[in-house]
Structure 1
């Protein structure tokens, strides 16, 4: 994976000191999570949004599926010097995915179901909006389950012939009961049974980075539990809106869904 380095010139009064630098893993692109490190005490903002920087300098940036061709990174250096950099954001092409055979109520929910869905969306937004100080997001991501990739991030979904919002996760198809593990170390910020997602867990990895595991047959981790990377947290199932057993695995930076696949090893292992 590419490692991009942004060199920042030292201020005139500090020429004797080495130039400060911000480094990151990954390339700014639509759907990308970029993890980086700055000098301790640096303050950052992406497109006007303050970015948490750990005492050691770790930070994370997220670029949504439809992000513009560039982003604005505002930098306040530890000594107070400020600058703004324009970051080019690579454009990606997205597939169209057609899914048929879903129960009509799962495509066009009734009034009672819509009330439930509204409440569940608020709960999800609260869990995905956390800005905790943990740094589990700095670890190299591991596969949460083994199986066939049956759905990818960003594809436009057409359900029973009706266009719907893009697919914001990676689907791993496997038999019911297949183990699901934490892709990164973190804390379980949400556990529940949801209309569309079925049995789900959300893990918080710090700095707005979170992962979601949906359609489980069983949740093995409880809300508030701290889990290690690779720890078993659930079992694959077919709960919620599905056509067969699989894990829907998603990655977010706060409320922005991102593509987890570029961060995963090539082989499931």
Structure 2
């Protein structure tokens, strides 16, 4: 009799065990530190759904996904996990807050604070092109292959820094500045698709944007030469241009930026140490 009862219960126990196993697999894992400016990779059950900052993330065939936290990301982050059984799990995480270098400068002439009105339309057109290029997102995971330095050299500007001219806060600096002479080769830090290649934008001069998949993109600005074209696929280490001093700059350097869609990320957080 006991054997009969056990045999009858086995299918039910198997279902319960499968559900528990599935729930365990669907538990989310974050692979990077949650800090302002971070690119955050994670993994979850491939059949689950993940929603962060109001955006549904693409889950690749191995369950990996990515999102980014901007310069001023809030101290608390909520991630929604939509399980295959129809339930939605809400997870809350703490985001490390950073302190940025803020410089206050008084007595600056107005012409150096704001651009002349006659270039306002040009600036708007440039911004629209850049926004469209960063909005392009292929369903690939090139960013998972690891970033290398597009050029090495002295760090002359860091992510998050900001100047306040005559009491008026200017836009924070969202890139990593690497000072090198004009003509120094710039290479792709990881493979991707070129979505913008423009030689003369008002602020950024020679500008390239590369899509690395799932909303992650790189922007390279102030270039003196552009060696790629829109629609071209580049591999890690391919030469894409040369360091310059084009646009609104005070000296030659590469300004490298990383985005997750509209969120500005810190390139320094995805890089290994500079080689000796």
Show the 5 A alignment for 1:113-262: 113-158=119-164, 163-192=169-198, 193-262=200-269
Judging changes above 3 Å, is the alpha-carbon distance between structure 1 residues 106 and 214 closer, same or farther for their aligned structure 2 residues? farther
Residue 12 of structure 1, CA deviation: 7.5
DSSP-derived class of the 2:118 partner: helix
Residue 265 of structure 1, CA deviation: 0.7
1:176–1:238 contact (8 Å) kept in structure 2: yes
Q: Which stretch shows the higher mean deviation, 252-261 or 126-135?
A: 126-135
Q: Deviations over 1:14-62 (max 9, x none)?
A: 2356821333321111111101222212211113221122233221111
DSSP-derived class of the 1:233 partner: strand
Q: Deviations over 1:80-122 (max 9, x none)?
A: 432010111111110125799x997564212221110111111
1:40–1:78 contact (8 Å) kept in structure 2: no
1:4 maps to which residue? none
Structure 2: distance between partners of 1:64 and 1:17: 33
Match of 2:63 among 35, 54, 57: 57
Q: Deviations over 1:203-249 (max 9, x none)?
A: 00010000000000000111110000111100000000100000000
Structure 2: distance between partners of 1:247 and 1:65: 20
Judging changes above 3 Å, is the alpha-carbon distance between structure 1 residues 163 and 81 closer, same or farther for their aligned structure 2 residues? closer
Judging changes above 3 Å, is the alpha-carbon distance between structure 1 residues 91 and 126 closer, same or farther for their aligned structure 2 residues? same
Judging changes above 3 Å, is the alpha-carbon distance between structure 1 residues 175 and 195 closer, same or farther for their aligned structure 2 residues? same
Q: TM-score, normalised by structure 2?
A: 0.86
1:26–1:33 contact (8 Å) kept in structure 2: yes
2:152–2:274 contact (8 Å) kept in structure 1: no
Gaps of 5+ in 2: 1-15
DSSP-derived class of the 2:119 partner: helix
2:73 matches 1:73: no
Residue 79 of structure 1, CA deviation: 4.2
User: Which of the two has greater helix per residue?
Assistant: 2
Structure 2: distance between partners of 1:126 and 1:188: 12
Structure 1: distance between partners of 2:92 and 2:46: 22
2:4 matches 1:15: no
Structure 2: distance between partners of 1:179 and 1:98: 34
Judging changes above 3 Å, is the alpha-carbon distance between structure 1 residues 72 and 245 closer, same or farther for their aligned structure 2 residues? same
Q: Deviations over 1:114-135 (max 9, x none)?
A: 1101111111111111232021
Equivalent pairs, count:
258
1:111 maps to which residue? 117
1:5 maps to which residue? none
DSSP-derived class of the 2:128 partner: helix
